[in-house]
Structure 1
Amino acid sequence: MDIQGLQAFLSVSAYGSFSEAAARLHLTQPAISKRIQNLEHQLGTALFDRIGRKIHLTDAGKALLPAAQRILQEMDNATRTMQNLANLVAGKLSFATSHHIGLHRLPALLQRFNESHPQVELDIHFLESELAYQAVQKREVELAFVTMTGQQNRVLQQEKLWHDELTFVASPRHFLARKLDLQLNELCYTPAILPFESSATYQVIKQQFERRKLPIKTSLPVNYLETIKMMVSVGLGWSVLPTIMVDEQLTELRVASEPLSRSLGVIWLKERTLSNAAQAFLAQIRE
């Protein structure tokens, strides 16, 4: 079995699509199909059932999946171990980051790292935190900078890096901005623009209202905080945003509630040997 064939097999099985797998591996769809065909020829069995537009693993494909994952994992670890023995800080460093962290926490760090380690090629993926968790587990990226969920994960190493304070905000022209002191119940029936309910940030906000058995009237859920800021600034509703984002476009609302905050950090696979580049980047951030 050749490594390229196994990589194609894992990518197709992960995304259930030859075209998506091709895009992820930066190949053409015919190239992916050829690699799968060669692998099936080597093994003497079909690995996928193609039913209409849907692709499903055959029994043989299901049996191969964990073995293929272990083989590629060991190959990856061996390569990194050899590079680490040579003490080289070079090669590709692939990581995911949420838009907020990428815009507000990483720029200065990336500039310094790029100047210190010019032989490292940075491969940056902007993903929602929930998708970034998946990307790490699928080995699409080595690290991910995310909003921490607070839940333990047996396959992921998690490290808190930043404490992110959150603030109730509205447009200076919003009627809520004219009130000196607010209670949560004054907000619960006024339209709010908040992240998707599946996000860790939304859950932090929701807990404040649930403790007092209050509903939240949400409209236009958006997961990009910069977009939420714009929508709030033109008066479409109130929100809760990182304090670091509050400027003259927003008014901080004085709401009687417990202080709101979230944790931002980095995750990686426990079983994965981190490259010298990843270790150097983490060391610089910890400083």
Structure 2
Amino acid sequence: MDTQQLQAFVTVARLGSFSQAAEQLYLTQPAISKRIDKLEQQLNARLFDRIGRHIHLTDAGMVLLPKAQHILATLEDTSRELSNLSGRVEGELRIATSHHIGLHRLPPYLRAYQQAFPKVKLDIQFAESEVIYQGVLEGLWEIGIITLSPQPHKQLQQEVVWQDEMHFVCSPSHPLAIAQNVCLQDLGNYDALLSKPGTFTRELLNQRFDQAKVDLPVATSTNNLDTLRMLASTGMGWSLLPHTLLNNDITAIASNIPTIVRQLGCVSHKQRSLSNPAQQLMSLIQTL
């Protein structure tokens, strides 16, 4: 049993896919399968049930998973602590960010970081904030740069970097475009185009509607904010978008609703030491 086999096992278990695990680990699918096969042979136990295209952990796999995660996390923490003793800022740094932040917030910070620390190899993954949140919790990434959770996990450290004002928007041809002093009850009379349930942004909006005891009439849900902007521009309904996405195709609704602000920033694990590259990136993002 070696760490490469355990990493392959943990990644397949998390993603539920050999092909996706291979892509994330920069390996071929046969290479991933070979590592899993060797691990199963060494343990004399089947770790996955493969039913059609679906993969499920066996009882043995469920026993191994938390232990494998602990082994990998301990080894990584030890490696970071030893590396940090040198004071050098080099090596690989695994981070993840949402598509929106990666496109509209991060570029100047990444440019400055690469110029300041050219010996650091940045491995950046793009995913939904909620997926990244869980990934940092499991040790997949050192830092997540995401929409922060309204209800932080006790094992994660959240650092607010940006206050992201959200706007109710619609097409210029939508009835709400010419309305004044729009309230939540008014929005409840029209179809909404929103992020999917369970997302941190959707939680903020749900709280407002729940407090006002107003039903939220959702017509379409997607976690791609650019798609929501496009749909809103067609007149299909209203949406809630950050100010960075406002353009001439949509108009801000004149509402009397208190501004919804989502917090964007960095998340890391409280019980895992950050590498020198991670510490420097956190510092740069918070001070630039």
* Shorter-chain TM-score above 0.5: yes
Unaligned runs of 5+ in 2: none
Distance 1:176 1:111, change over 3 A: same
- The structural deviation recorded for 1:161 is 1.5
Q: How many equivalent pairs are there?
A: 286
SS in 2 for 1:274: coil
Does the 8 Å contact 1:169/1:251 carry over to 2? yes
- The structural deviation recorded for 1:171 is 2.0
Distance 1:38 1:212, change over 3 A: closer
Q: Partners of 2:251 and 2:59 in 1: how far apart?
A: 59
- The structural deviation recorded for 1:51 is 5.1
Unaligned runs of 5+ in 1: none
Q: Partners of 1:172 and 1:99 in 2: how far apart?
A: 27
Q: Indicate the residue corresponding to 1:230 in structure 2.
A: 230
Aligned-pair Cα RMSD in Å: 2.1
- The structural deviation recorded for 1:113 is 1.0
Q: Indicate the residue corresponding to 1:269 in structure 2.
A: 269
Q: Indicate the residue corresponding to 2:24 in structure 1.
A: 24
- The structural deviation recorded for 1:261 is 1.2
AA in 2 matched with 1:253: I
Q: Partners of 1:187 and 1:174 in 2: how far apart?
A: 12
Alignment of 1:74-93 (within 5 A): 74-93=74-93
Distance 1:171 1:15, change over 3 A: closer
Does the 8 Å contact 1:166/1:243 carry over to 2? yes
SS in 2 for 1:20: helix
Q: Deviations 1:87-133 (Å, cap 9, x if unpaired)?
A: 12112222111122112211111111111111112222121111111
Q: Partners of 2:243 and 2:105 in 1: how far apart?
A: 13
Q: Indicate the residue corresponding to 1:111 in structure 2.
A: 111
AA in 1 matched with 2:47: F
Alignment of 1:33-112 (within 5 A): 33-43=33-43, 45-50=44-49, 52-53=51-52, 54-112=54-112
TM-score (norm 2): 0.90
AA in 1 matched with 2:27: L
> Which segment drifts farther, 158-167 or 228-237?
228-237
- The structural deviation recorded for 1:59 is 4.6
Q: Indicate the residue corresponding to 1:3 in structure 2.
A: 3
Structure 1 consecutive aligned stretches of length 4 or more whose deviation exceeds 6 Å:
none
Q: Partners of 2:37 and 2:165 in 1: how far apart?
A: 52
> Which segment drifts farther, 242-251 or 81-90?
242-251
TM-score (norm 1): 0.90
AA in 1 matched with 2:32: I
- The structural deviation recorded for 1:211 is 2.2
Alignment of 1:68-217 (within 5 A): 68-217=68-217
